[in-house]
Each structure stands twice: as structure tokens, then as C-alpha cells.
Structure 1
Amino acid sequence: MNGLQSLILLLLSYCSCRTIEAPKTQPALLIVSYDGFKQDYLNWNITPNLEQFREMGTSAEFLKPVFPTTTMVNHFSIATGLYPENHSVLGKANYDSKLHRQLKYSYELFHYDESIVPIWTANELAGGHSGCMMWSGSNFEFKGKNCTFTMKLDKSVSFKERVDIVMGWFTHKETPANLVMMYIEQPDSDAHKFGPDSLQAMEKVSEVDNLAGYIQRKLVEYQLENRINVIHLSDHGMVGVGKSNIIDLTQFLKNGTYQMYGSSPVFQVVPIDHDVEQEIFTDLTKAAQQNGHFKVYNQENLPTRWHANNARRMGPIIAVADINYGFHDLYRYPNTTVHGVHGYDNAEPAMNAFFMAKGPLIASGKRLSTVNNIDLYNLFCLILTIECRQNDGSNNPSIWNELFVNVNNDENERSNYIPFHS
């Protein structure tokens, strides 16, 4: 049992399984996600603001992403508490075998199952007001509701401008937000172009660290620091892939027999004719054995621990490159010496993300071990004092109460916090 699971269990053991009335002073939550901010960046002595934040609150040794370790997939797992095989956002571009076409960022991509309730929708249904700042999927309606405040991805809006907008959401006179989810596309964007350990990536790491400091100063300026609990996290890590480590999958297959969807290091191979499926799988499997730097799966042998076995949107054949290797799509960037790549097996330490939290409900100076990002949904519900919807997070009682959320042992105080329902 990991630290996060242990935390949730003890708190839930204190709670009754009934819907309760929210406290008079409703707690609020700000979640800030920095795309591609690998956990190792925190050890490079270039993040003083995040380091100070970590020391004053609770943090994890690392945050474990889901597979594939890509942006859209993990942001939706964080928002729903569901594995990709259940929420079915398995990449930013997937072939849907039922619809017989590729799905990119769209309403359809995020609505495979109408029972899915992201945290921003759960909060709205509970009477709260959610602010969704460029978070994947948040600009679509769920259960007939939109976020009270929404801004689609717009990279022309500076990071500080985004924070200023968010502060306006929290302080809105009529519908003040009690939950805001905020997405920052760096350092991922520059790390892809120049490599995760490049000077350009380091400059972006420093920039988002300064942003974390700016957020804290704004909370003080708006007198929100005693109301808002802040979580800083990332979605996945990243590694460098040199030109010599690029594998051209097309050389192993016959032209006109297949289509490929996805991007390095995960490709979905779809035969044009079902009759050649076994032949394609056999050819790719032999090539993988000879090459030694990628693996090939079908629905029968896809690792169950990945929780990505959704036949409709992950399959029928999947090629996955080994860590530090990539596929032929990387040739699109001929002037790039080292490509920044993520999406690999989530058991790879290099794919680890980070997690830290601070605020009026957050214990100071606590350290957790491994935190699985699908468990965060239940934490969000706990902080917001709302009922969690069905999710794949830990069903075990936990000790959030002891090590994370500052709730005293008074029975009346504990009654303000409700358990999740899975």
C-alpha cells in the first residue's frame, strides 16, 4: 500500500457514507499543471519558488502517470480518477474502430462514456463554481453542464495573464469559483523542440517556477491564502531521443495494407483489411525482436498493468518504443538533434511527474512516497467536500487525515468531509 492509499483510507474510516452539508466557509482548490515538468527538474537548483512551496506543504517523492504517458491522457485521468481504458482518451489522435475514423481533440473523444464526470462537473453538480483554464476536455459539456468559467487553450495569453484571470474567477461577486484547474504548456513545448535537458527547456522551467511564485503573491494580494488550497503538479516526465535512435516502422510493412495513428513512442497500427491483421502483427513482432528497441502488442498481450486495453480505441496492433527511442514521425523535425519524447511505459522512472500541495487544509512539511495520479480525484473531492463519482482510485481506507488534510479529531469537524463512492 502506498502513502497516498494509506492516507485516504484512515480519513474515510472516520467518515459516514452520506451526503452532508458543505461547511459555512467553503474550501477552495487551485490545481496548476505544468506540462512535461519531469520530477528530476526539482533537483536541479533552478526552482526556488516551488522548493519553498514544497517545504511549507505536503509533497510526494513522485507522481506516477498513467499509460500512455502523454498530456491529454493524463490530464483526463487526473480530472476523472479513471484509467485510460475506462475514460477512453488514449491519445491526442486515436482511431475509433466503431466510428471507423480517427478522433482528435473533440467532444466525441471525451464522451466515449456519458457516465464520466470530471471533477469540474462534479463540483458544478454539487453547487460549486468551476473555473477551467485551458485544461484538456474542460471546454466541453458533461452531464449537461459547462464550467462556470472557461478559457480554451490560447498560447497567446501569457502565463501571468492567466493567473490574473483566475484570480478574477475566485473573487467574482456573484459566482466565485471554489475550484480552478489551470494548464501551463511549458516546459513541454520547448523540451520537445530542443530536448528536455536543453538550455531552452531550463529557461522554461525557471519561467514556470517564477509563475508559481507569482501565484502565491497574488493569493496574498487578494487575501485568498487562507481560503485556497493550491496543488502544483505535472502530467509526465520526458527523455531525449537522438537521431540514431529513430526507428522507421514503415520499412517492416507492405505499403497500402495499414494505417498508423498516434505519435512516438506509441503507434496504433490498423490494417486496412482484417484478413492481413495477423500478417502485420507477425511482421512487426519479428522486426521488434530483431531491432530490440520496441515492442508490439495486440489485445491479447497488452500489459494489464497499463489499464489501456480498450479494444475500440487502442488497437488492434500497438507498437511501443523502448525508453530513449522513437519512431519515424520524429523525422518531421530534421533540424532537431535531440527530440524531447514522452508516452513510454509508466513504470519508467523518467516518466515520473511531481506533486506538491499547500493551503489551509494541507499539513506542513509532510512527505509521501508514490502517488498515483488517478488517486488525486478523491483528494480533490475531499478538499472540496463533495461526493466523488465512480472512479478507479484506491478503494482502501486511507490516512489522509493523519498525514495530509488538517482535520482535527472532533466528530463535528470530521462530519464536514465525505467519502468517495466507487
Structure 2
Amino acid sequence: MTTPTNKNDPSSSKVANSSDGLRNRANEQGRPQSQQWSRLLVLCIAVALGGVVTARALCPDVAWLSRQHIDLLCSVPSSLLNGWHAAPNTMSNGTHEFRETMILISVDGLRQEYLERGLTPHLLEMSKTGLRADYLNPIFPTLTFPNHWTLMTGLWAESHGLVANKIFDPATKKVWLPTKKESFEPEWWFGEPMWETAQKAGLKTADIMWPGPRTSQSGATPTYSVPFNFSYPIDAKLDRILEWMDMPIEERPQLITMYEPSLDNSGHETGPHSLRTNQTLAKIDSWAGNLTASLQARNLSDIVNVVILSDHGMADTSAPELIYMDEILGEDFVTIEYIDGWPSMGLHLFPEANASRILEKLYAAEDPTKFEVFTRETMPARRHYANNPRIAPIFITPHLGYALTTTVLNGTEISVGNHGWDNIYPDLRAVFLTQGPFAERMKTKAAAYASGSPRSDSDLWQSTKGSGSDGYVMTNFNNIEIYNLAMHMLGIQDRAASNNGTVGFWDAYV
């Protein structure tokens, strides 16, 4: 990408006029014009690095240049050389230089169906000026922390270690809970987050409250960071993003990540169909409109990639059928050392427990229409949820509409809206939409297919009606692909860490 010439910079016109003179003199001496420009570039670099003596050594016949021209080259080499280096990586919004940038926003609990309620005109407009996916498929379990760390690393839960919102580590006997400060120590979080990869590539990064550690296992931290705070207003988050975007290019982050929990809170406390949930949804949509307008006002729509997505959906769990696990297991229930994995039940057993008898009781009570019992060996492969010691050796998963509990709790742990069940349920589907230069590249390639160009990726798009009501709609995909999307948007895909994303997934789109 070529850096636009600053027409208001007198030195730019001075260089242009002088180079015209050099070109004319060269042509008068019979040299090909392309050869003279190549020699001029070498000369500029030589002057910048070593002065006129070095220039004459590299170009012994430099005598055809006048002393006036040599003096001119000596007076502007740094700007000329900097522009030559920066050109492939910078863009101008008309007043300032920018590098490839991505703003990644997660709206917790934004389920795919919410976009069909007539309450999200700005999000829908964003998806039409850009594009969206039919839906984004969360990993199992459909819980906040496992999915956010998958979005950040491109790893399944069994690979990154955040296997639930409540975890028992049998090796250390430690318990992970989101309310414990020590749960955010790096030892719990495996994988390389995208902000670490970006910084390794020389980019600056910024984060607002993304669910995860502030420091990776290698000791890396985002360049700028706002710690988790439930009371941090969403409008203040926009202000902070714009402050970062308005920084000088040397200080400005190229990757900005942000987390917003208010919609998930509304869904849990009042259910996915409540007035409060709809009001929160409308507020978030208005916020998205303000973000888009703010970027347009800065003439950044063709420079900054914006991605808005969610970690999972939200289901109505106001009247589940309760299944009492202590009644099923009887006296063996007290031999369970720890239960984690809610709304599933992961059973970690004491050494003296009779695992075979416990499994027999569970299999005898199992009703595949209500709940299923798995071991690590029998866990469905599509879940990628077996190869980690933090995953309990006996794992019971209820179907949506059912809840596992005990006679003591009697279902009191279940709110009217929830998630965490299998990712096959439509209510738990997440959202993905994006706009910016990367989306335009995807649409350009999709349009070539729609116009009849020979292609083999018809399964990539659900709709390519650029002027229709649907716009460009990708076929649903797994959220493990988001890490590699960030690498592509930032132009550092060759620096990506090892992850579970599909090799070549985004290459097929662009």
C-alpha cells in the first residue's frame, strides 16, 4: 500500500519538482527513465545512511547530478527514507497516518436471534455495509470464560485449560472461580492471546475488561489495559477507544479488544425475552451506531476493521425440569470430592470412591432425552472436551429444558436465563459481524463467485445479495477461527501462534 503524498507539505512539492529536474537531465543524457529512478532510490538511501561520500562510492558516475541536487537530497533524506519504509504498512485518513487496525468487541450473551427483534438497526446496518455470519458457533461448554479465552487464543477448552466457569484442578487441588483474584494468575490460562502475538510482531495493543488474565504465561501484558469493573459504563468504553484512536501513530494501538457484560446480566436476571433485556439490547445497538459514526467522522471506515461478536447466546431457563443427582447416587454421593462444570456436573471422586458403581447407577438412571453420562473416553469428539485433567472423569450433561441439582439446592442455583448447555441449541448461538477493509476484500471475492466466476467455495456463503435485505452472510463457523481472523486483519498471519483454527480458513474468503 502506497503512502499518500501530503499535498500540503512544502517539502513534498520541493522534492517532486527537483526530481522532475533530475529526470529531465537524465533523459537528456540518454539514460532510460526507469533506470534513473532506480539509481535515484539507491542514491537517496546512500545519502541518508552515509552522506554524499557513500553516495558517490555507490554511484561513481554521480557527477551528472549537480551540487544543488546533492544538497537537496542531503536535506530531506530522513523523510524520504521513512516514507519508503512506511508505505507498505500505513494508510492516510486525509490528515494522519494509520496502520492496519482491528477493534474487537464482545457483547456477552448477544444471541443470534436478538438481531431479528427489530431493536438493532445500527448492528444490522453495520452487517449490511460490512457482512455477518449466519451465526457464530461457541465452543462447548457455552460459558463466558471458556469461550472468551477461545476467542482470544483460537484454542478449544481442552487445549487452553479454562474448561468451565467453575474448575477443580486435581493436580493442585485448587479451585478456579471468577470471583477469586488468584483465578487470574497465568498458571490457569494456557495458549497465546492475540494481543501477545501482536506485540511480538511489534504492534501496540489495548484492552478493556476482556475476561482473562492481565499477564500471559510468558509474562506479556497489553500495552494499555483497563481492568475488569462491572460498573464501568459502556459510553466510557467508547471514549477510551476513541482516545486510543486519536493517539499519535507511534503510540496508537493497532489491536483494541473490549468486553461488555450488561446484556448477559439482563438475560440472567430477567430472562432473554424480558423488557429489560430488550432495553439493554437497544442501548448496545445505539452504542454501536455511535462507534460507527465516530469512526466515520475520523474518516476511518476504510482503515479500521471493526468486529462485534458474542461468546454465546441465552436460553429461557425459568421452568426447567429438575434432576436430583444425590437421589440417583444415594450413599455414593458423599464419595464425590468436587463437582464442577455447571450446568453440567463434572464428578471428581475421592480415591476411596467406587467409580464403577457410580457409573452403573448413572447409566441405569440415564434418559437420553433429559441427560447423558460421559467419561473422557466416551465424550463426543465434536465437543473437543476430553484431553485435559481438569475435565472431570465422569461428566453429566443435561439437555436444554432440564437442570441437574441436589435436594439441598433444589434448583436455587438456576436463574431465569442461562447458558452453558451443548452448543447445538439455536438459543445458544452467538453473533458475528464485521465492517472495514477486510470485509470489503471478502465481499469482492464473494461477488466474483456470485457473478459466475469459476470458484469452489459455494459453501462459504449463505447469501451474497449485496444490494438485498440480507447483504453478505457467511455460513456459520466455529469461534476458534477468530484468533486467525485477527492475525489476517493485522497483517501478521505469518506470526500466528499454534492454535486449533482451520488452516487456510480465511484464505478461502480473501
**Equivalent residue for 1:390, pick from 498, 507, 510:** 498
Asked if the contact 2:149–2:212 (Cα under 8 Å) also holds between the matched residues in 1, the reply is yes
Deviation at 1:22, TM superposition (A): 6.6
The one-character-per-residue Cα deviations of 1:203-250 (angstroms, maximum 9, x if unpaired) are 111121111112112223444333211001111112112335232322
Asked if the contact 1:121–1:142 (Cα under 8 Å) also holds between the matched residues in 2, the reply is no
Farther-moved stretch of structure 1 (271-280 vs 128-137) = 271-280
Cα separation, 1, equivalents of 2:362 and 2:246: 56
Deviation at 1:75, TM superposition (A): 0.7
1:270 aligns with 2:348: yes
Deviation at 1:251, TM superposition (A): 2.2
The one-character-per-residue Cα deviations of 1:9-32 (angstroms, maximum 9, x if unpaired) are xxxxxxxxxxxx972342100011
| Structure 1: gaps (5+ residues) | 1-20, 403-422
1:197 aligns with 2:197: no
1:74 aligns with 2:182: no
Residue 231 of structure 2: aligned partner:
156
**Equivalent residue for 1:56, pick from 100, 115, 129:** 129
Deviation at 1:136, TM superposition (A): 1.4
- Indicate the SS of the match to 1:42: helix
Residue 215 of structure 2: aligned partner:
140
User: Given residue 357 of structure 1, which amino acid in structure 2 is its aligned partner?
Assistant: T
1:90 aligns with 2:163: yes
Cα separation, 2, equivalents of 1:162 and 1:330: 39
Cα separation, 2, equivalents of 1:134 and 1:303: 33
Cα separation, 1, equivalents of 2:290 and 2:257: 16
Return the structure number with greater relative CO, CA threshold 8 A, min gap 6.
Answer: 1
**Equivalent residue for 1:332, pick from 412, 424, 437:** 412
Task: Describe the shift of the 1:274–1:306 C-alpha distance in structure 2 as closer, same or farther (beyond 3 A).
Answer: farther
The one-character-per-residue Cα deviations of 1:172-214 (angstroms, maximum 9, x if unpaired) are 3352110011111131111111111122211111121111112
Asked if the contact 2:163–2:341 (Cα under 8 Å) also holds between the matched residues in 1, the reply is no
1:24 aligns with 2:102: no
Residue 378 of structure 2: aligned partner:
301
Q: Which has the higher helix share?
A: 2
Asked if the contact 1:121–1:143 (Cα under 8 Å) also holds between the matched residues in 2, the reply is no
Cα separation, 1, equivalents of 2:506 and 2:353: 50
User: Given residue 356 of structure 2, which amino acid in structure 1 is its aligned partner?
Assistant: Q
Cα separation, 1, equivalents of 2:279 and 2:113: 15
Residue 314 of structure 1: aligned partner:
391
Cα separation, 2, equivalents of 1:121 and 1:87: 15
Task: Describe the shift of the 1:301–1:206 C-alpha distance in structure 2 as closer, same or farther (beyond 3 A).
Answer: same
**Share of identical aligned residues, percent?**
26
Residue 481 of structure 2: aligned partner:
375
The one-character-per-residue Cα deviations of 1:312-360 (angstroms, maximum 9, x if unpaired) are 11111111110122222683368x6xx2121111122222111110013
Cα separation, 1, equivalents of 2:404 and 2:293: 43
**Equivalent residue for 2:315, pick from 239, 243, 246:** 239
Q: Which has the larger radius of gyration?
A: 2
Asked if the contact 1:134–1:151 (Cα under 8 Å) also holds between the matched residues in 2, the reply is yes
Cα separation, 1, equivalents of 2:508 and 2:362: 46
Residue 257 of structure 1: aligned partner:
335
1:212 aligns with 2:318: no
The one-character-per-residue Cα deviations of 1:388-414 (angstroms, maximum 9, x if unpaired) are 111111124654554xxxxxxxxxxxx
* Aligned-residue CA RMSD (Å): 2.4
Task: Describe the shift of the 1:244–1:32 C-alpha distance in structure 2 as closer, same or farther (beyond 3 A).
Answer: closer
Asked if the contact 2:184–2:214 (Cα under 8 Å) also holds between the matched residues in 1, the reply is no
User: Given residue 153 of structure 1, which amino acid in structure 2 is its aligned partner?
Assistant: F
Task: Describe the shift of the 1:235–1:42 C-alpha distance in structure 2 as closer, same or farther (beyond 3 A).
Answer: same
Farther-moved stretch of structure 1 (217-226 vs 42-51) = 217-226
Asked if the contact 2:214–2:221 (Cα under 8 Å) also holds between the matched residues in 1, the reply is yes
Residue 18 of structure 1: aligned partner:
none
Deviation at 1:109, TM superposition (A): 6.8
User: Given residue 332 of structure 1, which amino acid in structure 2 is its aligned partner?
Assistant: T
Deviation at 1:256, TM superposition (A): 2.2
Asked if the contact 2:186–2:213 (Cα under 8 Å) also holds between the matched residues in 1, the reply is no
Cα separation, 1, equivalents of 2:304 and 2:213: 21
Asked if the contact 1:30–1:179 (Cα under 8 Å) also holds between the matched residues in 2, the reply is yes
Cα separation, 1, equivalents of 2:413 and 2:173: 30
Deviation at 1:112, TM superposition (A): 5.0
Cα separation, 2, equivalents of 1:385 and 1:138: 25
Asked if the contact 1:22–1:385 (Cα under 8 Å) also holds between the matched residues in 2, the reply is no
| Structure 2: gaps (5+ residues) | 1-86, 92-98, 444-465, 467-471
Asked if the contact 1:138–1:150 (Cα under 8 Å) also holds between the matched residues in 2, the reply is no
Give the TM-score taking structure 1 as reference length: 0.83
Deviation at 1:258, TM superposition (A): 1.0
